[in-house]
Structure 1
Amino acid sequence: MISSIFTPSFIGNFTSPGPILFQLGPFSIRWYGALIACAVIIGLGLSQYLAKRRCINPEFLSELMIWLVIAAIPCARIYYVIFQWSDYSQHPERILAVWRGGLAIHGAILGGIVASLLFARLKQIAFWQLADLVAPSLILGQAIGRWGNFFNSEAFGRPTNLPWKLFIPLDHRPVGYEKYSYFHPTFLYESLWDVIVFGLLMTLFFHDFKARSHLKLGTIFLLNLISYSLGRFWIEGLRTDSLMLGSLRIAQFMSLIVILLGLVGLSWLYILSRSLPDVISKRSLEDS
């Protein structure tokens, strides 16, 4: 099954081989779940490595990752279900079927921030210090997780005849698009954009480490939010399955909010030359 993805026709005209990675009788492993698991494992290893480079106990990141998984995935699902309630109210048994897809990144971000704030407060660690260490893992995990949309034949864009067009089976096409076979692979656009953002964050992290210029706490995390949201705003405009509130694309609205907050945060750091508010006092932060 895996080899069928990389046939010569994949480049320029590709289609999902299906959502199932492995099946043995009634037992099955789906690509979506496997990719999320891989993203968590890789993200944990990366954040621990970055913590060591900053002389921070990597075990804090192991504990934090548990908090993030417990908070982010349910919040991502709840966020998605709320804005798709007209569908899920008809099939409530599908609400818990996370393996079928339907996780909203903005819900995950909100849940993860709340969990991280509580964790930082409990452990008496600067929230922004943790956020900077986790940011590269988050965007890399998003790049990996987006491929789950490919295997589920979801999160694609408008019809297109571009060389990298994506074939979508008839039963996955939105109402009104049944006559079209090929669509923008917006999952791929976002995954590639996330890889670019990941490269930017890692470059900043290691340049700062080598130059010992010490970027202010929160800089990497804020740049992650701004950079991701810029790409997401454009990509969301191509999609046919956006979460909507009336005529408003929720992801685009949230992206604008996040960009604004990120710019305010950077201005606070580098124009006003002040530290971002944190869950521990300035004295505790300096001692750490």
Structure 2
Amino acid sequence: MQFILQGLANTINPVAFHLFGWPVYWYGVIIGGAILLAITLASREMRRKGFNDDFVLDLMIWAIPIGFLGARLYYVIFEWPYYLAHPTEIFAIWQGGIAIYGGVIAGALTVYFYSKYRGFSPYFILDLAAPYLLLAQSIGRWGNFVNGEAHGGPVSESFLSHTLHLPQFIVDGMLIDGTYYHPTFLYESLWNVLGVILLLILRRQQKTLKLGETTLLYLIWYAFGRFFIEGMRTDSLYLGPLRISQVLALVIFILGIGLIIWLRHRPVKRPYYSEISHSEQK
């Protein structure tokens, strides 16, 4: 794996291979692999809870394309002056330019309504999927590494090699147009991995997280890390002087904590995630 990444970093070639004359980009390969892993893990958790995992595959048929559409639409909206002048690039997602917040919003809405349509609790399905979505986000950030994007400001080679003690293939990959940059893609990837571990541990504990709280903790964790990491990036989307992702992260963080406190104090009884089984859901 390191040999592959070393080669990618050195060549800075975003094309993995050609299929029938069409370029297949590492960005898409990495994101596709991340989604496939998330689906596999979600299906396994669905079976562990006693459900038919066909529901996960049926859901993904809708959630994946709608999520990608939301991610792209979010990015295009906040870069509209550019895309108004270059309309042919609106659908060129292989060049990058998808915003995870847009994907999460569109995907979550799809999960909510499709789950209700199929007779499942949307909050249970969202809780089930949340850790694996965060894992997919962690892996997907390596697509940014291959594209040489989503990085921070300039740093020295010594900072990357001797202060952060990064592997050489990452150091080489952060040399872009003659300048070394903060590997903010890596910071977010590692932060997300820690979040996955935390969510899975807490979710498996008996009577720890109530229905909906895994999803809220996912949002809180991701928003907290994204707020600080976004402040280091050089490619942020802006609304006036404000970084949109930082503002949204702050709002999500505050709302997430507020919702957990509010839900915990409501008199309405909610089951714990660990207690949910097929017999109670359907």
Q: Report the TM-score range of the alignment, normalised by the length of the smaller protein.
A: 0.7 to 0.9
2:151 counterpart SS class: coil
Deviations 1:176-196 (A, max 9, x none): xxxx60110111111111111
> How far apart in 1 are the matches of 2:81 and 2:2?
35
Q: Which residue of 1 aligns with 2:203?
A: 205
The corresponding residue for 2:95 is 100
Q: Call closer, same or farther: CA 1:16–1:246 in 2, change over 3 Å.
A: farther
Please tell me whether the aligned partners of residues 5 and 16 of structure 1 are also in contact (alpha carbons under 8 angstroms): no
Contact 1:15 1:168 in 2 (8 A): no
CA distance in 1, matches of 2:281, 2:217: 26
Cα deviations by residue, 1:18-73 (Å, 9 ceiling, x for unpaired): 21111367322101111111111101110011112222221111111222102100
Pairing of 1:166-185 with structure 2 (within 5 A): 167-170=174-177, 181-185=179-183
Letter in 2 for 1:43: A
Deviation at 1:129, TM superposition (A): 0.3
Aligned residues of 2:127 and 2:214 also touching (Cα < 8 A): yes
| Consecutive aligned runs of 4 or more in structure 1 exceeding 4 Å deviation | none
Q: 3, 6, 28: which is aligned to 2:23?
A: 28
Instruction: Verify the 8 A CA contact 1:44 1:61 in the aligned structure 2.
Output: yes
Distance (whole Å) between structure 2 residues aligned to residue 16 and residue 46 of structure 1: 33
CA contact (8 A) 1:197 1:227 kept: yes
1:272 Cα offset (Å): 2.9
Corresponding position of 1:65: 60
Alignment of 1:196-235 (within 5 A): 196-206=194-204, 208=205, 211=206, 213=207, 215-235=209-229
Residue 225 of structure 1: CA displacement? Answer: 0.6
Instruction: State the distance in 1 between where 2:11 and 2:153 align.
Output: 17
Look up the match of 2:240. 246
- Which one of the candidate residues 37, 40, 51 is aligned to 2:32? 37
Q: What is the CA–CA distance in structure 2 between the aligned matches of 1:80 and 1:63, rounded to whole Å?
A: 27
- 1:92 maps to a residue whose letter is P
Q: Separation in 2 of the partners of 1:112 and 1:287?
A: 22
Aligned pairs (5 A) from 1:40-55: 40-55=35-50
| In 2: Cα distance, 1:16 partner to 1:152 partner | 11
In structure 2, the CA distance between the partners of 1:223 and 1:16, relative to structure 1 (3 Å rule), is farther
The aligned counterpart of 1:257 is 251
Partner of 1:191: 189
Write out per-residue CA displacement over residues 143-166 of structure 1, whole angstroms, 9 at most, x where no aligned residue.
Answer: 111111111111110111212455
Which whole-Å CA distance do the structure 2 matches of 1:137 and 1:92 have between them?
34
Return closer, same or farther for 1:202/1:16 CA change in 2, 3 Å cut-off: farther
Q: Is residue 120–residue 281 contact of structure 2 (8 Å, CA) maintained in 1?
A: no
Amino acid at match of 1:223: L
Higher helix proportion, which one?
2
Compare 194-203 and 262-271 and name the one that shifted more: 262-271
TM-score, scaled to structure 2: 0.86
Between the aligned residues of both structures, percent identity stands at 39
CA distance in 1 between partners of 2:36 and 2:4 (Å): 26
Alignment partner of 1:130 out of 106, 109, 125: 125
Supply the RMSD in Å over aligned alpha carbons.
2.3
Secondary structure of the residue aligned to 1:22 is strand
